[in-house]
Chains A and B, each alone.
Chain A
Amino acid sequence: MSTKLNLTLSVWRQPGPEARGQFVTYPANGIPDDASFLEMLDMVNEQLIEQGELPIEFPHDCREGICGTCGVMINGRAHGQERGTATCQLHMRKFSDGDTIVIEPWRAAAFPVVRDLVVDRSPLDKIIEAGGFISAPTGTAPDANEIPVPKEVADSAMDAAACIGCGACVAACPNSAAQLFTSAKLWHLNSLPQGQAERFRRTEAMVETMESFFGSCTNHGECTEACPKEISQDFIAYMNRDYMKSLVYNRRLAGQR
């Protein structure tokens, strides 16, 4: 049998991008502790609809921690207090009866609020777009292990590729920097043999696009703590290294200036 929780929510309500927002307090009573955080918000929204109020808009999609759509600040922490957990995978059993939960959207100048808890994260897409393509041979399926990849490199690339692009790193950063996101996307390709042809052009383009939207890294390490995939800030150092190389390497190619 699951126990029921009686909670108080303090939720950021903002009718539109230009409107002024504010915290509104709602009771959330009889929440089963098996519910996920988003299911709890669904239950509150059902109550609101019955009362004739507009439901709380919150970002969500797969609800299994792999799509990167959900994500809100919960009691001052991105994705809530559980380490390595997206908002949708946070369960109400992590809260106690009588708790007050403060829910706020991601805050960054590059992430304007669309409505309530939903923010526009399209600058992250701009960074991905700037990355361009990789050169991969087409045709019949290649033989397995045709391109040798050391196990350590494959592991490292996979750790970086775990990024779901939720934006928690930006939300947690005191400078609203997207370094963890960008470095994870870069290292996922830059560490593998398949990503070498465009390595430095890609690094340069993605870093410079990132910097036109986001702040700079001051090495606090808040991003890794907030990341639902626990992506290491080591990747930021690799990105810095590759970016400095790209400035030299890209210019060494004749006629590229």
Chain B
Amino acid sequence: MAAPTATEKVTGANSATRPIRPRPKRLPFPLSLYQTAVGKKWVMAVTGIALLGFVLFHMFGNLKLYLGVIEENGERVYDVDIYAEYLRDLLVPLFPRTWFLWLLRFGLIAAFGLHIHAAYSLTRLNLATNNAYESKRDWLAANFASRSMRYTGVIVLAYLIFHLADLTWGWIPSTDWERGEVQANVVNSLSNPVVAIIYIVANVMLAVHIFHGVYSMFQSLGINNPRYNQLRRYLAAGLAAVILVGNVSFPIAVLTGLIDYDPSLLGPVS
């Protein structure tokens, strides 16, 4: 074992003096932001806020499932069906019907696309710059949520596609899906225990993802003040808990009969 000479150190194949990732040609300003990892994290945080807002309002709107049947224009209908129809009528005198809803949807699709692409390319970068330890190493600060973001993210994406196929597109043949019949579709789908378990597990994963995401977003955006930093953890735990409790309650309520669909309750008020 001869000692390595000075030239060996510099010219070695994995010499540290050469960048692992060459700096890309700089694009004009708003795009140059997305060329760097710090900028990509910033994009992930901003799109994460948009997606979090969607998840919160989605959960809040779904709470209408608990209100059951109400009277509307002399007819008894399920409250959540009216709410779903109202979303298509959002800002109607200002926009034609469904336009504003589609505007929101395109915004969401763009946020999802950017969030996923940024996550994918940052993961690629991190795998390329990392060297694993040969011995077992300890984790002192990293928690389950922070270590599993990649996996919970992929699970949430897979669940999202399943959820759209199940309740938006009606592609699951066994559920008797009908457009506009929100209460009936939800009850039909979630009364299958297998589907209910998929929803419960996926929403636990979503809450875990949100727990680290909300905390992490403050750091990525540079929002940091030692006086309030502990609040970021509380906010993350609080938001994750609200979304977890709200979303998991729906499949459980359907399975226990708290939310059900009874066509005999509907119809004109006599």
Which residues on A are within 8 Å of B, measured CB to CB? Answer: 10, 12, 15-18, 21, 23, 54, 73, 75-77, 102, 104, 107-112, 114-115, 120-123, 126, 172, 174-177, 207-208, 211-222, 224-226, 232-234, 236-244, 247-248, 251
**Are B129 and A222 neighbours in the complex by a CB distance under 8 Å?**
no
Which residues on B are within 8 Å of A, measured CB to CB? Answer: 1-4, 8-9, 12-17, 19-23, 29, 32-33, 36-42, 122, 125-126, 128-142, 146-147, 149, 212, 215-216, 218-224, 226, 229
**Are B38 and A207 neighbours in the complex by a CB distance under 8 Å?**
yes
Complex A-B: 7 CB contacts under 8 Å: A176-B129, A212-B23, A213-B19, A219-B215, A232-B226, A244-B222, A251-B29
Query: What are the residues of chain A within 8 A of B42 when measuring CB–CB?
Result: 240, 244
| 4 cross-chain pairs, A with B, having the tightest CB-CB distances, nearest first | A241-B222, A237-B224, A221-B141, A216-B37
Q: Which of B132, B134, B140, B224 has the most CB of A within 10 A?
A: B140
Additional pairs, 8, CB under 8 Å, beyond known A17-B14, A211-B38, A222-B142: A110-B16, A110-B20, A211-B36, A234-B224, A234-B229, A244-B222, A247-B32, A247-B33
Cα distance A207–B19 in the bound complex, in angstroms:
13
Cα distance A109–B126 in the bound complex, in angstroms:
10
Pick the residue among A76, A121, A248 that contacts B133 (CB under 8 A): A76
**Are A17 and B141 neighbours in the complex by a CB distance under 8 Å?**
no
Query: What are the residues of chain B within 8 A of A242 when measuring CB–CB?
Result: 222
Nearest Cβ on chain B to A17's Cβ, whole angstroms: 4
Query: What are the residues of chain A within 8 A of B142 when measuring CB–CB?
Result: 174, 220-222
Pick the residue among B23, B130, B146, B215 that contacts A108 (CB under 8 A): B130
Query: What are the residues of chain B within 8 A of A237 when measuring CB–CB?
Result: 218-219, 221-224
**Are A174 and B141 neighbours in the complex by a CB distance under 8 Å?**
no
**Are A109 and B130 neighbours in the complex by a CB distance under 8 Å?**
yes
Query: What are the residues of chain A within 8 A of B219 when measuring CB–CB?
Result: 217, 219, 233, 236-237, 240
**Are B129 and A215 neighbours in the complex by a CB distance under 8 Å?**
yes
Nearest Cβ on chain B to A64's Cβ, whole angstroms: 25
Cα distance A174–B123 in the bound complex, in angstroms:
11
**Are B126 and A176 neighbours in the complex by a CB distance under 8 Å?**
yes
**Are A76 and B136 neighbours in the complex by a CB distance under 8 Å?**
yes
Query: What are the residues of chain A within 8 A of B229 when measuring CB–CB?
Result: 234
Cα distance A13–B251 in the bound complex, in angstroms:
56
**Are B138 and A75 neighbours in the complex by a CB distance under 8 Å?**
yes
Cα distance A75–B133 in the bound complex, in angstroms:
11
Nearest Cβ on chain A to B230's Cβ, whole angstroms: 12
**Are A216 and B40 neighbours in the complex by a CB distance under 8 Å?**
yes
Cα distance A62–B212 in the bound complex, in angstroms:
39
Cα distance A76–B139 in the bound complex, in angstroms:
8
**Are B223 and A112 neighbours in the complex by a CB distance under 8 Å?**
no
Pick the residue among B39, B138, B216 that contacts A218 (CB under 8 A): B216
User: Looking across the interface, which residue of chain A has its beta carbon closest to that of B149?
Assistant: A218
Nearest Cβ on chain A to B236's Cβ, whole angstroms: 11
Nearest Cβ on chain B to A22's Cβ, whole angstroms: 8
The answer to whether A224 and B141 touch (CB under 8 A), given A122-B16, A215-B125, A240-B41, is: yes
Query: What are the residues of chain A within 8 A of B16 when measuring CB–CB?
Result: 110-112, 120-123, 213
Cα distance A109–B18 in the bound complex, in angstroms:
11
User: Looking across the interface, which residue of chain B has its beta carbon closest to that of A251?
Assistant: B29
Cα distance A81–B99 in the bound complex, in angstroms:
59
Pick the residue among A12, A211, A234, A248 that contacts B134 (CB under 8 A): A12
Q: Which of B32, B40, B142, B216 has the most CB of A within 10 A?
A: B142
User: Looking across the interface, which residue of chain A has its beta carbon closest to that of B131?
Assistant: A107
The answer to whether A216 and B125 touch (CB under 8 A), given A17-B12, A23-B134, A110-B20, is: yes
**Are B41 and A217 neighbours in the complex by a CB distance under 8 Å?**
yes
Query: What are the residues of chain B within 8 A of A244 when measuring CB–CB?
Result: 33, 38-39, 42, 222
Nearest Cβ on chain A to B128's Cβ, whole angstroms: 7
Nearest Cβ on chain A to B175's Cβ, whole angstroms: 38
**Are A211 and B220 neighbours in the complex by a CB distance under 8 Å?**
no
Cα distance A236–B1 in the bound complex, in angstroms:
42
Cα distance A2–B39 in the bound complex, in angstroms:
54
**Are B129 and A214 neighbours in the complex by a CB distance under 8 Å?**
yes
The answer to whether A104 and B133 touch (CB under 8 A), given A213-B19, A220-B146, is: yes
Nearest Cβ on chain B to A63's Cβ, whole angstroms: 22
Cα distance A77–B141 in the bound complex, in angstroms:
12
Cα distance A95–B126 in the bound complex, in angstroms:
34
Pick the residue among B2, B12, B137, B147 that contacts A76 (CB under 8 A): B137
